[in-house]
A = this chain, B = another copy of it.
Amino acid sequence: MTIQYAILGYLSWHPFTGYDLKKLFAESDYFYWSGNNNQIYKTLVLLQKEGLVRIREEKQGNYPTRKIYTITEAGLMKLKMWILSEPQLPELRNPFFIRLAWSDLLDAEELSNLLSMYEKELIGQLAMFAEKQRRGIQHPARSKREEFLWKMLAKNWTANRENELAWIRELRYQLSQKWSDNR
């Protein structure tokens, strides 16, 4: 369960409500999220039971009462301990690999189309990311070092997609060179 640490992380930055967290995850490119608040609210209840966060309720007219979550000392410790624990490499699970692995079933044109779709997706995502960065999204920058770390996260993201783009382009180029005869 990695989401609990992502939440603790955000709360180590600033107190937030579940609704805030939902939006933060939705915006974030580094903390993947599907669009489901179920998990967030459930995890918050769990974190509170374990004394890792504290709730402050804030009534506000006719709106539902906001529950503002604050990280506790124990929560900070738990987060820090997790960060320090043995990091694991990301799993390179790319469904596109499965397609490509068996795409000798396709003829030259079908394969070319497939690769071109993938390339377009990559270009699109890179453009969207660049635009987001240009507009400037919120992220913690309580110290020069923290700012630097988040800059490096962005760099990783971009480098990763650009690496993939370079790869697919080479793939397409070599295919066109070697199998230009449509076989």
Contacts and interface: CB of A to CB of B under 8 A. Distances in A.
Tally of this chain's copies: 2
A94 interface: yes
A74 interface: no
Contacts of A155: 167
Contacts of A87: 95-96, 99, 114, 117-118, 121
User: Chain A interface mostly helix, strand, loop or mixed?
Assistant: helix
A45 interface: no
A3 to B, nearest CB: 9
Interface in A82-125: 82-84, 86-106, 110, 113-114, 117-118, 121-122, 125
A102 B83 contact: yes
A135 interface: no
Given A31-B97, A87-B114, A92-B161, 5 more contacts: A83-B99, A87-B95, A90-B96, A100-B153, A104-B143
15 contacts: A2-B98, A5-B99, A30-B92, A31-B97, A32-B92, A83-B102, A84-B114, A87-B121, A88-B95, A88-B96, A89-B161, A89-B164, A101-B140, A145-B178, A152-B171
Interface of A: 2, 5-6, 8-9, 12-13, 29-32, 76, 79-80, 82-84, 86-106, 110, 113-114, 117-118, 121-122, 125, 140, 142-146, 148-150, 152-153, 155-157, 159-161, 163-164, 166-167, 170-171, 174-175, 178-179
